Structure 1
Amino acid sequence: MKTEFGHLTYCTNIHPGESWVDHFQELRIHLPLIKKEISPNQPMGIGLRLSNEASLSLIEENQLLEFQNWLEQESFYVIGINGFPYGGFHTDVVKEAVYQPDWSDQNRIEYTQRLFTILMELLPANEEGGVSTVPLSYLYFDTNVNDRNVRKSKSTEQIIQTLLTLIRIQKATGKTLHLDIEPEPDGMLGCFLDWVIWYTSDLLPAAFPVLMDEFGFDSQSAEEQTKNHIRLCLDVCHLAVTYEVNPFLFSELKRLGIKVGRIQVSSALKVKFQENVGELLHSLKPFDEKKYLHQVVAITKDGEKRSYRDLNLALDAGANRLDEWRIHFHVPIFLETYGTFLSTQEELKLVLTEHKKDHLSHILEVETYTWNVLPKNSQLPIDKSIIRELKWLRSFLESNSQI
């Protein structure tokens, strides 16, 4: 729904269905129930997740028209698309396959441009919309720096080709669409600082001559167009894991004039090892599930950081009483604690407080997909779980709470 704080929505990646038929069926079941509680008297926005398979079906004229008619009849609208997972997000094992194909692969650019074609048709008039995407690639697809640099260069070239498409769409239709690149631990752009360095040192210098040649832009216009269409996807969980939710994040965004395409409203799992280290490590084992990557960044009292590709590796390495762990696990945002564990809700509140002051983005998208970690007496059916998350978000934004 559209509010003074922007569009409040959630990502439909929580609902299964890799084919469009299956996913649309899930949306028809769940979305009206959620809207009835969250936005009964005004249209409600959707953060749509489409697999490659679903996008190939939905782009067909009859399928797209059917969906548009349903949106209008039920008073929904699509404000953004999650284009991060190309393939199965609900298969038994996802892990690093979520990055495949990456931005060095032609299949990734074709998929993403197809999503923009769909979004262009679904986006309401006078609104901007974005497609989120992977942080170029997964860091460990390559074993040496040279191969990584080749992959990064190819990925940057394909991002620029997508930028050309977005500028052409804006010139033809007047609609502003943006690609929202999402830093994630162990991605090629694994943190906000990596993202900024790539953006300023790789993307902008490479984009300028292409835009000047293609559209006749001067350097100022080329920079403005790039920053308008290539934006940051600020996933709060990810940046909390890398300890980057701090004043530097906000000051750098302002200093560089980088736009935030969307805020993915999310919390990570936090563990403070002060005592009973063995018990805490044992209690973490249920979080070591086999479907998704759960990268860990540990920090000692002296500020030394240690990163682990997955939770099982961190558990094998152990901890001491001076460690704090941040774990890439999208826990529900409405809780600050999970028994003996914490969440990074404090960091989320910091981002939301900053957003209330400076309106960082026009899209706030809840992205929680791990409700099974809640205590049994706190677990609810999926619809009620989503409603609880959205109500917490709206309540915090509407309150006078400050961090």
Structure 2
Amino acid sequence: MRLRHPDGSTVHLSYCTNVHAAEDLPGIHGQLSGVAARVRRLLGVERLGLGLWLSRHAAAALTARPEELAALRERLDALGLEVVTLNGFPYRGFQDEVVKHRVYTPDWADAERLRHTLGLAGILASLLPDDVAEGTISTLPLAWRTGWTREKAAAVTAHLDAAAEGLRALAARTGKVIRLGLEPEPGCVVETTSQARALLGDVDHDHLGLCLDACHMAVGFEEPGAAAATGLPIVKLQASCALVAPPGAQRALAAFDEPRFLHQTRSATGYADDLGEALAGGLPSDESWRVHFHVPLHDTPPPPLTTSAPFLRDLLGALLGRERPLTRHVEVETYTWNVLPGAPSDIAHGIAAELHWMRAQLAALGLKET
């Protein structure tokens, strides 16, 4: 969906397709004609934005076979779908039975991450609508923090420089500017926006910047205005909500302790790298806990649990409720529908409800649908 900011610029709203277990091109075409098309109809919009996730296998196939890439764009157009952003964080198997730390591999010290990301950039330049000149890709915050060395840091610097050079060359060749956003996440080398500022202060800001994930920021106890204070370009906002447990109510989180994804858990004074570790005594029970479990934006879990939706509203205000927007790409990223306790068998209604909720938040800030 497209919305007009009061300053006249266009803000793109989408949902991220990493919620779907599609590893190959037939699977991607199936998710487009299935869930995505139903979401568009439920919302009653002419155009639905997708934050497309492409596995390594699917991306390689599109790069090797231009006719498949052309067919994908035609399919998107026929279904009333458009892509201006890709989620380049997961590399493969994001809806496998167990993902956990594997989502951080290959990291940015590995040349394969650079190759895959530049491949995604070329694909996105071809998928962008004719009237859109800029696309964005989100990526991991360098690596998981353990095993980080000087040698890895040097390799990362070289690979980020090469990424910026590759994106500049792509823009010169296609006229499409693709911007890469590092996504800070608890437990990683870059956990917070302030750490990102220290890392990205001197890079090519025309092509490299931040992807903010609202859930990650809330779990890290960041302030909504922290991102604006960095001075870094915010290429994309991932609209997401964390799970919150008030003091003494943490046992209610047990239903969310599932084996697929990593659920970093933080309190004001402590942290655990997964929810199970926290429940086993890794965090003080007399403090509120925030859990990296993306829960639906529009809904609340059974009491006494709540979500970080108030934080998300404040972050939207900090980024979009001003004279000029600090980002123009907003992606709803609730990838946990398939492991959510009590989740519906058909998630299209849930995704549509999230987008409807987000549309209302943006309208309250003065944005209008186009």
* TM-score after normalising by structure 1: 0.84
Question: Does 1:51 pair with 2:25?
Answer: no
The aligned residue for residue 307 of structure 2 is 343
Equivalences for residues 4-403 of structure 1 within 5 A: 4-5=4-5, 6-40=11-45, 42-59=46-63, 60-125=65-130, 126-140=132-146, 142=147, 147-200=148-201, 204=202, 226-250=204-228, 252-253=229-230, 256=231, 258-273=232-247, 277=248, 280-299=249-268, 305-317=269-281, 319-320=283-284, 322-336=286-300, 338-354=302-318, 355-357=320-322, 358-371=324-337, 376=342, 379=344, 381-399=346-364
Deviation for aligned residue 1:75: 2.4
CA distance in 2 between partners of 1:106 and 1:74 (Å): 36
State, as a whole percentage, how many aligned pairs show the same letter: 32
What secondary structure does 2:235 align onto? strand
* 2:83 aligned partner, one-letter code: V
Deviation for aligned residue 1:360: 1.9
Deviates more, 1:230-239 or 1:16-25: 16-25
CA distance in 2 between partners of 1:114 and 1:375 (Å): 36
CA distance in 2 between partners of 1:163 and 1:383 (Å): 36
Contact 1:235/1:263, CA 8 A, preserved across alignment: yes
The aligned residue for residue 223 of structure 1 is none
CA distance in 2 between partners of 1:159 and 1:298 (Å): 32
Deviation for aligned residue 1:149: 2.7
Per-residue CA deviations over 1:322-359 (Å, capped at 9, x if unaligned) read 31111100011112554211100010000112212241
Contact 1:294/1:328, CA 8 A, preserved across alignment: yes
CA distance in 2 between partners of 1:50 and 1:386 (Å): 19
Deviates more, 1:361-370 or 1:240-249: 240-249
Structure with higher helix content:
1
Residues paired across the two proteins, number: 357
Deviation for aligned residue 1:394: 0.4
Deviation for aligned residue 1:193: 1.6
What secondary structure does 1:394 align onto? helix
Residue 152 to residue 381, structure 1, CA distance change in 2 (3 Å): same
CA distance in 2 between partners of 1:246 and 1:64 (Å): 38
* TM-score after normalising by structure 2: 0.91
The aligned residue for residue 212 of structure 1 is none
Contact 2:214/2:240, CA 8 A, preserved across alignment: yes
The aligned residue for residue 219 of structure 1 is none
* 2:12 aligned partner, one-letter code: H
RMSD: 1.9
CA distance in 1 between partners of 2:293 and 2:365 (Å): 28
CA distance in 2 between partners of 1:329 and 1:133 (Å): 19
Deviation for aligned residue 1:18: 1.1
Residue 155 to residue 248, structure 1, CA distance change in 2 (3 Å): same
Contact 2:99/2:260, CA 8 A, preserved across alignment: yes
* 1:131 aligned partner, one-letter code: I
Unpaired runs of 5+ residues, structure 2, are 6-10
Greater relative CO, 1 or 2 (CA 8 Å, sep 6+) = 2
Deviation for aligned residue 1:28: 1.5
Deviation for aligned residue 1:233: 0.3
Unpaired runs of 5+ residues, structure 1, are 208-225, 300-304
